[in-house]
Chains A and B, each alone.
Chain A
Amino acid sequence: MFDFLDGYDVLGAFWTTVQLTLLSAVGSLVWGTLLAAMRVGPVPLMRGFGTAYVNIVRNIPLTVIILFSSLGLYQTLNITLAAKDTDAINFRLAVLGLIVYTSAFVCEAIRSGINTVPVGQAEAARAIGLSFSQVLFLVVLPQAFRAAVGPLTNVLIALTKNTTVAAAIGVAEAALLMKDMVEKEAQLLLISAIIAFGFCCLTLPTGLILGWVGKKVAVKR
């Protein structure tokens, strides 16, 4: 029944999906936190930059960003991100595109976490003479992150699903494999079921586990 799977590297494709997800998740968490810090900070120019970045990037389709990173950055401007062969270049460009896009949503998730921290926390921190960065990084952000686990989980699940967009520039992940397989093999329903099952295995446990973690770490108020 599963003979048609010979010659296709299903696990390898999903491994690429996982790699894309994890690398982009780490990158967008860092850049998204920086953006959030800019957006709530006291420097007007940085606030403006953060707001503009989020509003522009959130409204461009991820597909446009990823396709631009290949056609615009690589093929027109010859930016290769220090990779040698085409596969590696496309992979790195896809990660770059995913980071650029996802960090806007990470920023908003963290900001919504910051909004759950009661005003008294920041006021008390200021009253004992902490500076802005001390208030933010020692008092507010640690509490905000605990409240942001839920929204961040949703961003992570969306990111996992968004990695399929990398298929548009030929990164050999699960959706590209599926497209290849359904065009060559006859078992459409079976192939789709396998790919769907793979994504369920990635997204549903993430939601359940991190949902449990989110409840566990949330500050009880």
Chain B
Amino acid sequence: MTSVLYDAQGPRAKRRNILYTAFFVVALAAVLWWVYASLDEKHQLDWALWKPFFNGSEAYTTYIWPGLENTLKAAALSMVIALPLGAVLGIARLSDHMWVRVPATVVVEFFRAIPVLVLMIFGNELYSQYTDVSSDDRPLYAVVTGLVLYNASVLAEIVRAGILALPKGQSEAAMAIGMRKNQVMRVILLPQAVTTMLPAIVSQLVVIVKDTALGGAVLTFPELLASANTMSGYYGANTIASFTVVAVIFVVINFSLTSFASWLEGRLRRGKKSTGAVLGVDETVNIPGHAGTGTAA
């Protein structure tokens, strides 16, 4: 589509593009220079502040790796707990019985409407008032609780959309050979839907990894972002350097997850064994409460 927006360029268009490029380069250079100048003015580019990340592994073994470990632990736990919960909720929303469908819908819509941070703060206080979870473990419990409640309802939508994306003929054929509703779901639809929604589930993992950082900023959960804070205190206020390193780590993890999800999606779309129904990576953000507005990129 993009290349269809403009013609093959003639001499005038080429000249104009060179002009745009030059203008853009100047603007970009000005911004970069401004960033460089303000960093330099505050001595944020001094080698002493960046040295811990390039010389020796102390910064990594003492601060970054333990933080990263906690980030990944919270994300993995949340995903593992939220997935079955989401599957149950998603299937319940497709039920023929109103007394199953309506409560599931209410639960899903409610938890999708509320910020994760609110759920985390609620979990934190819940554990502190009503349970004897030690105060060391409490932030992890609270972060996982918040992430599970929110992501279970998002995954429920993914599961529902994944099952609905399968061709109608699948369930019709299964019913035609005399399967019960439960068998149709369990033997025919779910196994196919799992492959259908794999890319969407992987890209939901990116959202979970990003949201663990909330726990570090608000609930004293010692994850990667919190370790950036500790580091900048220890290495003499190298806030800019620490945050840059942490941001790069987040980008590397999430970018590889996103690329893996797109690769998976492409593979499933090309695959000959399946029905060809795939819930794409970009559809995760676009699964609406109201059907028909999601547009795959």
Say yes or no: is A60 at the interface (Cβ < 8 Å to chain B). Answer: yes
| Residues 1-16 (chain B) with a chain A CB within 8 angstroms | 1-2, 4-7, 9, 13
Q: Cα distance A17–B255 when bound, in Å?
A: 30
Closest to B7 in A: A126
Chain A, residues 22-49, CB within 8 Å of chain B (1/0): the string is 0000000000000000011111111001
A40 in contact with B2 (CB, 8 Å): yes
The answer to whether the Cβ of B285 comes within 8 Å of any Cβ in the partner chain is: yes
CA distance A65 to B2 in the complex (A): 30
Q: Which chain A positions have C-beta within 8 A of B232?
A: 71
Q: Is A128 an interface residue (CB 8 A)?
A: no
Q: Do A61 and B42 contact each other (CB < 8 Å), given the known contacts A150-B288, A207-B288?
A: no
Main secondary structure on chain A at its contact with chain B? Answer: helix
Map CB proximity to B onto A89-127 as digits: 1 under 8 Å, 0 otherwise: 000000000000000010010011111110100110010
Residues of B within 8 A of A49 (CB): 24, 28
Specify which chain B residues have a CB less than 8 angstroms from the CB of A58 in the assembled complex: 254, 258
Task: Tell me the complex Cα distance, A157–B28, Å.
Answer: 32
A residues 71-93 in Cβ contact with B at 8 Å: 71-72, 75-79
Asked whether any CB of chain A lies closer than 8 Å to the CB of B173, the reply is no
Contacts of B258 in A (CB 8 A): 58-59
List, in ascending order, chain B residues with CB within 8 A of A59's CB: 206, 210, 250-251, 253-255, 258
Question: Chain B residues near A114 (CB, 8 Å)?
Answer: 1
Known: A161-B115, A211-B293. A122 touches B5 (CB 8 A): yes
Question: How many whole Å from A10's CB to the nearest CB in chain B?
Answer: 13
Indicate whether B17 reaches chain A with its CB closer than 8 angstroms: yes
* B125 close to chain A: CB less than 8 A: yes
In the complex the two chains form, is A167's CB within 8 Å of B117's CB? yes
With A61-B250, A112-B286, A200-B110 known to touch, is A161 a contact of B214 (CB < 8 Å)? no
- CB under 8 Å from chain B, chain A span 140-156: 140, 147-151, 153-155
The reply to whether B5 and A64 form a contact with Cβ atoms under 8 Å apart is no
B contacts with A, residue count (CB < 8 A): 69
- With A and B bound together, what is the CA distance between A150 and B292 in angstroms? 9
Complex contacts, A204 vs chain B, CB 8 Å? 109, 113
Report B-chain residues with C-beta under 8 Å of the C-beta of A165.
117, 214, 217
Task: Report yes or no: A182 in contact with B125, Cβ–Cβ below 8 A.
Answer: yes
A16 within 8 A of B: no
Whether a CB of chain A sits under 8 angstroms from the CB of B213 is yes
* Among B5, B6, B17, B212, residue most surrounded by chain A Cβ atoms (within 10 Å): B5
22 contacts between A and B (CB under 8 A): A41-B5, A46-B20, A46-B24, A60-B210, A61-B213, A71-B229, A71-B239, A76-B42, A112-B297, A115-B296, A126-B7, A135-B5, A135-B6, A147-B295, A149-B293, A150-B292, A188-B129, A196-B114, A199-B114, A200-B114, A204-B109, A214-B293
Residue positions of A touching B, CB distance < 8 A:
39-46, 49, 55-56, 58-64, 66-68, 71-72, 75-79, 105, 108, 111-117, 119, 122-123, 126, 132, 135-136, 140, 147-151, 153-155, 157-158, 161-162, 164-165, 167-168, 174-175, 178-179, 182-183, 188, 192, 195-196, 199-200, 203-204, 207-208, 211, 214-215
